[in-house]
Structure 1
Amino acid sequence: MGNSAAGVLVGIDTGGTFTDLVAFDPESGELRTSKTPSVPSEPGRALTNAIAAADLRPGHIASLVHGTTVGTNALIERTGARVLLLATAGHEDIPYIQRINRKSLYDLRWEKPRPLLVSRRDSLGVPERLNSAGGVVRPLDVEAVRAHCRAVKPEPIEAVAISLLFSYVNPDHEQQVRQIVAEELPGLPVSVSHEVAPIWREYERTSTTLADAYLKPLMDRYVASLDEKLRDAGLTTPWAIMKSNGGAMRAGAAADSPIQTAQSGPAGGMLVARALGVQAGLPDLLTLDMGGTSADVGMILAGELRHTTEYEIEWGVPAAIPLIDIKSIGA
């Protein structure tokens, strides 16, 4: 393997503990696997180690698709970035107000989920207002946005989330705020709600945008490190990262939209489980994917994957992204 004219197809899944590789040569039909320890401090090395353990030549790899739990683990372990939230004035508490529903209706000691991805001091209101049709009720106060940005400059803010009312109908104010942030806080990654989650539910849209910003610096470093290691090892083909919905996207796109990788690794496992179920004549399956950091459970009914847009980082803290329906907990 490795000398095939067609090139080798490679899939690599990196978890918190182990990195697993499967390689297939479509010309010869040969299949190879390898399992190596993950290297959290240097993730690119785990991939090159797995490639070397399978005795593959990176220059002969035609396709490399990578499943990762970096986003999943960061959300579970709360190891993402410090995020600044810019919301419509009067709505900056939306991550704290959340929804009225309770997980344990009759438990008098039940505690409401805390906002996980932004502190109250980093949640600021922007004077502006659109109506439900996207019409301007109150023009954007540009100077107020600049003042907010200048006020937080001394703080170790790592990313910015922008979520304004009805921006999914008219994104003009969000686009203006993003431009101001780029001018006042250059270099900081920015997530805007009309791109991340263009939906009408304000809390879900804000929570999803926060999660995207929360993961951006981490995923950007992760992708850059992997790309450098893979290129140094001799990989010449573009490589992709699994999306939570079972698809794949170029590595650079994953760095720009990291919330789409929240269930990247587990999604790949679900695709394999369905394929094995079809071969074994088992259309109904319950799947369990347990690693060193998280345990992920999914269902396959009548040979079909269940999809949803109601992912919960923690109960009551949603991320409205399209994904295979998988439930994750800390292992």
Structure 2
Amino acid sequence: MGFRIGIDVGGTFTDFILALPDGGIELFKVPTTLDDQSRGVMNGIELLASRHGLDTRALLARTDLIVHGTTTADNTMIEMNGAKTGLLTTQGHRDEIDIRRGFKEDIWDPAFPPPTPIARRRHRFGIPERLDFRGAVVRPLDEDAVREAVRRLRRQGIESIAVCFLFSFLNPAHEKRVREIIAEEYPEARISLSHEVMPTAPEFERTSTTLVDAYVGPKLSRYLDRLERSLRDGGYRRDLLIMQSNGGIMTAEQLAKRAVAALGSGPTGGVIGACAVAARSGVSDFVAIDMGGTSYEACLVRGGQPEIRSFWNWQHRYLVGLPMIEMHSIGAGGGSIPARSVMAAAGLVPPSPTRTSCSATSTPRRCAAASSS
């Protein structure tokens, strides 16, 4: 048996666990290199190798497994610095993402702000087309309208395009044709199709999930591409495996096509590890905590198993309809900036624990807009 390496890249530190061939375990930590997180990973691997009298190539050549948890997607949502995103949806439904099923996190605060839009209204286009609830075509896809919308999105500087049509999970023909048109008109754009990201109803959940995928996808894909290339150049010849939000793993290539599954990737690995440690200690009911420099996550574990929830997963104020280990996350890590809303300070709303979506890199204005008490 060779080496096995676990890597967790956070917004502040990159943590390593090295499982040795003789069964021993070593823990190691290096600062995260925010300009290129793959560089920090390779720096850490180089230091791990030197501790065993090896160079990077020798260590990676003897490594059987690398499993990686990353908070890249979460930190992108916390800091709202993802790709400039557009949306193509069925005509008449472009405001569905703003309506949010009428949901509001704090019903007592009339000044509670809406979430920062992933796709601004001017970047959302309704396309004439319609399928019925059986997937039969009621109105054919207007390809000219698609081409015009894609051209406008290109002129607007959109990097990533989400496509979500009614009942496309029953008949994806229209969404697939849109992908072909985007490839012709704007081949540089990243494309997220709702029937691939979340092939099920309901509509709002699918739209929200697809938008999040489009928003975090480019940054996550670029990072994983750089990391895989660095590992290959360094001598690693196996698949890089990434933690998913449901507690499973997938290859980096698979995850790049469904980036939203990486939300909670790093903390999920922590929960799975905490369950294993607790089981060995005879503990079945506990709270797993993961606090980094950028965010803070908590997970309630009962009977030795975390709850896995689908559909109603609110992640950084956006709904993600994929199966996820239920965790609660706030942008309040070691470097966060606290803030209180004006309404709470004036005593006009019931007091409650501070909730914030700001981080160490957020501006005071963004923190104030994202916080409530």
Normalising by the residue count of structure 2, what TM-score does the alignment of the two structures yield? 0.84
108-117 vs 83-92, which moves further: 108-117
2:106 is aligned to: 104
Q: Distance in 2 between matches of 1:50 and 1:68?
A: 15
Matching residue of 2:227:
226
1:45 counterpart letter in structure 2: R
Shift of 1:54: 2.2
CA deviation digits over 1:89-126, x for unaligned, max 9?
01111111211233334x25243523531100000010
Picking from 3, 10, 19, the partner of 1:15 is: 10
Q: Which residue matches 2:138?
A: 137
Task: Flag structure 1 segments of 5+ consecutive residues without an equivalent.
Answer: 1-5
Corresponding residue number in structure 1 for 2:38:
44
What value does the CA root-mean-square deviation take over the aligned residues? 1.4
Letter in 1 for 2:15: D
User: CA shift at 1:62, angstroms?
Assistant: 0.7
How far does residue 254 in structure 1 lie from its aligned partner after superposition?
A: 1.5
2:245–2:268 Cα contact (<8 Å) kept: yes
Task: With the length of structure 1 as denominator, give the TM-score of the two structures.
Answer: 0.94
Partner of 1:3: none
Whole-angstrom distance in 1 between the partners of 2:139 and 2:116 = 28
8 Å CA contact 2:245, 2:262 repeated in 1: yes
* Residue type at the aligned position of 2:297: D
User: What is the match of residue 287 of structure 2?
Assistant: 286
> Does the CA-based 8 Å contact 1:311-1:318 persist in structure 2?
yes
SS at match of 1:99: helix
Cα distance, 1:200 vs structure 2? 1.4
**1:35 match: secondary structure:** strand
One-letter code of the match for 2:250?
A: M
Paired with 1:275 and 1:114, the residues of 2 have a C-alpha distance of 36
1:49 Cα deviation from its structure 2 partner: 1.9
1:298, distance to aligned residue in structure 2 (A): 0.3
Q: Which runs of 5+ in 2 are unaligned?
A: 53-58, 333-373
Number of equivalences: 323
Distance 1:152 1:235 in 2: 39
- Aligned with 1:204: secondary structure? helix
1:296 aligns with 2:291: no
| Match of residue 34, structure 1, among 15, 28, 44 | 28
Do the aligned partners of residues 24 and 192 (structure 1) sit closer, same or farther apart at CA in structure 2, a change above 3 Å counting?
same
Output the amino acid matched with 1:261.
A
Contact 1:64 1:239 (C-alpha < 8 Å) held by counterparts: yes
Aligned to 1:324: 325
Indicate the residue corresponding to 1:91 in structure 2. 93
Judge conservation of contact 1:34–1:53 (CA < 8 Å) in 2.
no
Find the aligned partners of 1:83 and 1:108 in 2 and give their Cα distance: 29
Q: Quote the Cα distance in structure 2 between the aligned partners of 1:255 and 1:51.
A: 23
Q: Distance in 2 between matches of 1:164 and 1:67?
A: 32
More relative contact order, 1 or 2 (CA 8 Å, 6+ apart):
1
